[in-house]
Structure 1
């Protein structure tokens, strides 16, 4: 979690993400790329606000140059704020044109980003059907871990870290990331959470949790089995009751049956839980 990308549209939600990213980078010795994407039909790539031209001339180019100059000024304001608050964290600004999701994914690939931090509204069941969540799409499509942030966090201190899983063999792939998080937040209490629809499954769930913890020598942890008819609803409810500062989940992303079974749960939790949610792809982590 040292090469961090923060896309911004200069909204309060994006600023929340930037604020958290700065604190994560401070703890991990990382650096940040602050990205703004200007959506221009038929155009993509890195742009400049220098003395060069943006295209073939005319009013459209004049408008584009003015837009880019305003954009760079707003980026500069955020970078000045970052230097004031976290002077040890290097921040580089980057402006690109093109479809937003495509531009973000291209930067992740080309710059070998290992953490994407995005801002999002906390969605309710009534609004989610109608809302087109960019954060949810990025959770599904990003090849690197995605940290979704929905609220301001002036002091991002992780005291309660929740890893939500069914603790089958695939959960083992999250262990390196959990170990890195515990190194970054050594005082955090690790909650190992399984959500089950009925009480008669509790003992089997607890057995899986304890076996997982012993197998990986996780040290102090709190085993938690939570009753809920749906996993996607149970995780946010538990996180709220446990005062979770960070929720960690595996997601399959991409498409196919595995995505519908597990990835859709992680995407749903990422935009509905009040706490920040870190989603990991098991094939990479």
Structure 2
């Protein structure tokens, strides 16, 4: 299939193996789907420390400019190594808060996808702090792909779209449909139901959702389970999905448990999350 206009992919990097996993997967997919890849490193500094377009540092005077300059130069050196090692990639360095900086940079520069390697999290950290990946997925208007391990050999044959199909309005599925078109991927629609749910009605809603979103080459699945995370895991035991796609209302946090964020932190499959309209 002919390569179409490039997908702009942002890979935030802290130079860890998790960030490398994100690049390895995206780089593998770029062999078939034309991708414009940018590595972004964010140096976490107070708002009073700024970096101009020429990489000059300004501070309020309370922070040692030389110390910040050392950190900047180390980061720039590592970014240059990435550029030399991976032909065709772009790199950038900014100052700021990690999650806010990534989202703002991606939106201001019109990226199609943010690709994140993540260690996941659990217990106290998940409940009270959360991972950067889940916070970015919660707030970003741009689709976010997360993965925990090496998926450099991934072949996109089957995508699982998990959704409550009572919400059958058109969604932001442009990226997913583009991937399906390029890779010839089959889509599997899944809703996790309870024993009181009308499965015929769910499938009727799935058909409406598919029509409104102009989906093709798909199958419909309904399974009974206690919650979305368990349902997805049980479904994957009998169906070998390559990627899980799931929407988020952006309501995660201490007072709202998000199924999307739970999967991001626990599921050892690549996940593409998008903001539900």
- After TM superposition, the score normalised by the length of structure 1 is 0.81
Task: Give SS of 1:28's match.
Answer: coil
Q: CA deviation at 1:275?
A: 0.9
User: Secondary structure of 1:118's partner?
Assistant: strand
Contact 1:37 1:96 in 2 (8 A): yes
- Cross-structure match for 1:73: 77
Question: Which of 176, 181, 184 lines up with 1:183 in the alignment?
Answer: 181
2:35 paired with 1:30: yes
Q: Is the 8 A contact 2:247 2:273 kept in 1?
A: yes
Contact 2:48–2:60, Cα closer than 8 Å, also in 1: no
Match of 1:271 in 2: 265
Whether contact under 8 Å (2:50, 2:57) holds in the other structure is no
**Partner residue in 2 for 1:227:** 224
Is the partner of 2:64 in helix, strand or coil? Answer: helix
Q: Matched residues in 1 for 2:217 and 2:129: separation?
A: 40
Q: Say whether residues 1:42 and 2:47 are aligned partners.
A: yes
The structure that is helix-richer by fraction is: 1
- Alignment partners' CA distance in 2, 1:146 and 1:249: 10
Change (3 A) 1:178 1:64: closer
Q: Gaps spanning 5+ residues in structure 2: where?
A: 1-5
Q: Over aligned residue pairs, what C-alpha RMSD do you find? A: 3.1
In the superposition, the TM-score normalised over structure 2's length comes to: 0.83
Q: Secondary structure at the match of 1:9?
A: coil
Alpha-carbon distance between aligned partners in 1 of 2:189 and 2:201, rounded to the nearest angstrom: 14
Does the aligned pair in 1 maintain the 2:244–2:270 contact within 8 Å? yes
Could you list the per-position Cα deviations for residues 50-74 of structure 1 after superposition, in whole angstroms to 9, with x for gaps in the alignment? 6x56658999333222222221221
- 1:102 maps to 2:100: yes
- Whether contact under 8 Å (2:247, 2:276) holds in the other structure is yes
- Counterpart-to-counterpart distance in 2, 1:226 and 1:99: 41
Residue 251 of structure 1, aligned match among 248, 251, 254: 248
- Which residue of structure 2 aligns with residue 10 of structure 1? 15
Are 2:145 and 1:147 equivalent residues in the alignment? yes
Query: For residue 202 of structure 1, what is the aligned residue in structure 2?
Result: 199
* Residues 107 and 142 in structure 2, CA contact (< 8 A), matched pair in contact too: no
How far is 1:130 from its partner? Answer: 6.1
| Residue of structure 1 in register with 2:158 after alignment | 160
CA distance in 2, matches of 1:149, 1:219: 26
Q: Residue 49 of structure 1 contacts residue 69 of structure 1 at CA under 8 Å; is this kept in 2? A: no
Q: Which one of 82, 86, 91 corresponds to residue 82 of structure 1?
A: 86
Aligned residue number for residue 68 of structure 2? 64
Partner Cα distance (2:115, 2:85) in 1? 18
- Counterpart position of 1:113: 111
CA contact 2:49–2:57 (8 Å) conserved in 1:
no
Gaps of 5+ in 1: 84-89
Rounded to whole Å, the distance in 2 between the matches of 1:118 and 1:96 is 17
User: Per-residue CA shift, 1:172-210, capped at 9, x if unaligned?
Assistant: 324534321211221x22211111122763333233334
Moved more, 269-278 or 205-214: 205-214
Q: Determine the C-alpha separation between the residues in 2 that align with 1:175 and 1:102.
A: 23
